[in-house]
Amino acid sequence: MKNSLAVNAYVGKPHDEHWEYQKCRGYTKNVLVVARHQDGRFKRETFHLTSLGRTLANATGGELTVAVLGTTPQCGELAGFGADRIDLVEDQALNDYLVDVHDRVLGAIVKREKPCLVLFEATFSGRELAAVLGAKFNGSVASGCTAIQYWDDGFEVLRPVLGGRFKARLHLSALPAFVAVRSRSFPLCKAEGAAKIVSIPVKVPRTRFKNIKRETSGQKIALDRADVVVSGGRGMGGPDFSLLEALAELLGGAVGASRSAVDADWRPVSDQVGQTGLVVAPDLYIACGISGASQHMAGMSASKRIVAINKDSHAPIFSKADFGVKGDLFEILPHAIETIKRLRSTSNQGATT
């Protein structure tokens, strides 16, 4: 029903006419994916994004191009996920992200390729590039999408709104569509074939920004990318989050915090999970001493599994959790950490004998 709604909502703009109109503006049925790499390696998310691009290019009947900005080897890897062509702008200056440089280089590629759809990863940079390019080309923009579908009269996307409590189904009628997706929501699709690598002659502009200083944070794993997030709230009672850090370290995760913990200056604002902070969706979310205000729930309710540890058995967080522990986290967590270590070492011994 919803799908037919998507089509019926745009009667009066039959698809051929729509494509004719877009073709007047010169847009093709091709799809462009913007790759991301660090230290000479593509991010895993880029392969997910390329796989999605392949599926969508098959749907539109166009070709899939991947734009690679900066110096990176192994471009051929992208062919393994269905790229037909790789547009390469090899310049050291593009290795570090600066919005005004990247938008102009990507703008030149979009102008040249005329894709009907440009896919980004829904990172800070992906989202803002999508918005800037959307404005530059008078197209359409959608960020943080978890589903995307091609219709003859444009694209339809699903994106979480109201802190993930709802999904908005949006129809993007203006092309090109610039869409930032949560790429890990989409499966990897292996493909065979070799992509043509094309060196794009774009002059890399100079940035308008001056005195650029970068510093990296202490967190080993970025909170919004972590598979496991261990968060603390008011129940932590103070700035000592060492137990949560130990558990996060053990599970290969990152530490987050509720708004009240941040407001109390126990944790930096960059750690805040919630509707006004970061929205996360890890495989496992462990809420320690967090009551579960709707503001916080909106930032983590999309997590695959939620564990709650709280003294108060009436805390709302329990109604949204898969696994709950009623008790004092300062008594529970040290034992839990010890037990995890013990169980792991026993299973390792079992595996080696």
Residues 19-38 that bind other proteins (CB under 8 A): none
Residue 106 binds other proteins (CB under 8 A): no
The radius of gyration of the chain's CA atoms, rounded to the nearest angstrom, is 23
Residue 2 binds other proteins (CB under 8 A): yes
Residues 238-257 that bind other proteins (CB under 8 A): 251
| Residue of the chain from 15, 196, 203, 305 that contacts other proteins (CB under 8 A) | 305
Could you give the CA distance from residue 83 to residue 189 in angstroms, rounded to a whole number? 11
Residue 194 binds other proteins (CB under 8 A): no
Q: Which is closer to other proteins, CB of 112 or CB of 311?
A: 311
CB of 194 to other proteins, least distance (A): 32
Residues 115-134 that bind other proteins (CB under 8 A): 123-125, 127-128, 130-132, 134
CB of 229 to other proteins, least distance (A): 13
Query: What is the per-residue binding string for other proteins in 261-280, x denoting contact by CB under 8 A?
Result: -x-----xxx-x--xxx-x-
Taking alpha carbons only, the member of 233, 195, 335, 146 closest to residue 156 is 146
Cβ-defined contacts of 261-268 (< 8 Å, 24+): 261/232, 261/233, 261/234, 261/236, 264/234, 264/239, 265/239, 266/232, 266/236, 266/238, 266/239, 266/241, 267/232, 267/239, 267/241
Which residue's entry shows tokens 């940079």?
125
SS3 at position 201: coil
Residue 143 binds other proteins (CB under 8 A): yes
Give yes or no for a contact between 311 and 326, defined as CB atoms under 8 angstroms apart. yes
Could you give the CA distance from residue 52 to residue 36 in angstroms, rounded to a whole number? 15
> How many CA atoms are closer than 13 Å to the CA of 80, on its beta-carbon side?
10
CB of 275 to other proteins, least distance (A): 5
Q: Which is closer to other proteins, CB of 2 or CB of 190?
A: 2
| Residue of the chain from 286, 287, 290, 315 that contacts other proteins (CB under 8 A) | 286
Residue 17 binds other proteins (CB under 8 A): no
Region binding other proteins by CB under 8 A among candidate stretches 20-28, 49-57, 190-198, 332-340: 332-340
| Residue of the chain from 284, 287, 290, 315 that contacts other proteins (CB under 8 A) | 284
